[in-house]
Amino acid sequence: MNSVKGWPFVSLLFGLALQGYACNSAANTSATLDINSTITGGTCQVSVSNGGLIQLDTAPTHALENIRPDEYAPGGHDFSLTIVNCDVDLQQPGNGTLAIRFTPAVGAFVGDTQQVLPNETSPAQGGAKNVGFAVFTASDPAAMRNVERANGGGSSVAYPVNNTSLLNSTYPFYVRYQKIKAAEAMSGGLVYSQALIEVSYD
C-alpha cells in the first residue's frame, strides 16, 4: 500500500511534529497538525489557526512523484500564524522585519535540495521510507515557496512590517507530503517529523 497521511505539531521557538502513515491505497484516513506556542526573550508570541489542529487528508504515494520540494502541489493543508505579542514597543512608529524560521528539531533538512523535513521513524520501526514534509509560505498563493532556500540557503520567510500594525497580523503557510530523494523508491509506513519555528522581529 502506498499512501500517506500526516499531522504536524508546533510549539515557539515552536516544536512542529508532523506525523502520518504511508500505504498503497488511498484509504479514508486522516491526520492532524497540532500547534502550540510559547514566548521566549527577543521573539514574538503567536497563535495558530484552527486551534492548532490541522487536518491532512490521506494521499497516494504516486501523487508525490515528479514534484520538487520548491513547488506547490495539492493534497496538503493551509495553516496560519498570528502575531499576539512581541518583545518590542509596538506603540512607537517604525518599520522592521518579521522573520519566521523553520528548522528540523532532529537532524537537518533532507532531500536532493535539502528542503524537506525528515521522517524520524525508521522503516525498521514501521516508518515510511523516503517520505517527509515540505512547508511553504502562502502569503501570495500564486508564488508559494518552500520556507527553506535550497541547499542550505537558510530561511526564505521574512516580511517587512510596521510596528503599529504587527500585532494581530496573520501569516499563511501550507504543508504537504514530499518525496525526499527523487531517484529512490518510497515505501509505506509511519511518517513523523519535528521542527522548531522561531519568530522574531527586528
- Which pLDDT belongs to residue 82? 86
58 vs 76: CA distance, rounded Å:
9
Asked whether 156 and 146 are in contact (CB, 8 A), the reply is yes
Residue corresponding to grid cell 503599529 = 164
Residue 1 pLDDT grade (very low, low, confident, very high; cuts 50, 70, 90): very low
Give the distance, in angstroms, between the CA of residue 109 and the centroid of all CA atoms in the same chain: 12
- Residue 49 in this model has a pLDDT that exceeds 50: yes
Percentage of the chain modeled with pLDDT above 70: 70
Would the pTM count as exceeding 0.85?
A: no
Instruction: Enumerate residues 6+ apart whose C-beta is below 8 A from 122.
Output: none
Q: Are strands 30-35 and 9-10 parallel, antiparallel or unpaired?
A: parallel
Task: Answer with the residue of higher pLDDT: 35 or 136.
Answer: 136
Average pLDDT over residues 9-29: 40
CATH number, domain containing residue 72: 2.60.40.1090
Q: The dihedral of CA 10, 197, 144, 70: what is its sign? A: negative
Domain count, the chain: 1
Choice among 35-49, 126-140, 142-156, 164-178 with the minimum mean pLDDT: 35-49
Task: Find the domain containing 151 and state its range.
Answer: 3-201
Asked whether 160 and 201 are in contact (CB, 8 A), the reply is no
The three cell numbers of residue 169 are 497580523
Q: pLDDT averaged over the chain?
A: 74
Give the distance, in angstroms, between the CA of residue 170 and the centroid of all CA atoms in the same chain: 16
Average pLDDT over residues 20-37: 40
Choice among 141-145, 172-176, 189-193 with the minimum mean pLDDT: 189-193
**pLDDT tens for residues 85-129?**
776 666 666 777 888 888 887 889 999 999 998 888 888 988 888
- Which pLDDT belongs to residue 43? 60
79 vs 29: CA distance, rounded Å:
20
Element holding 184 (H helix, E strand):
none
101 vs 166: CA distance, rounded Å:
17
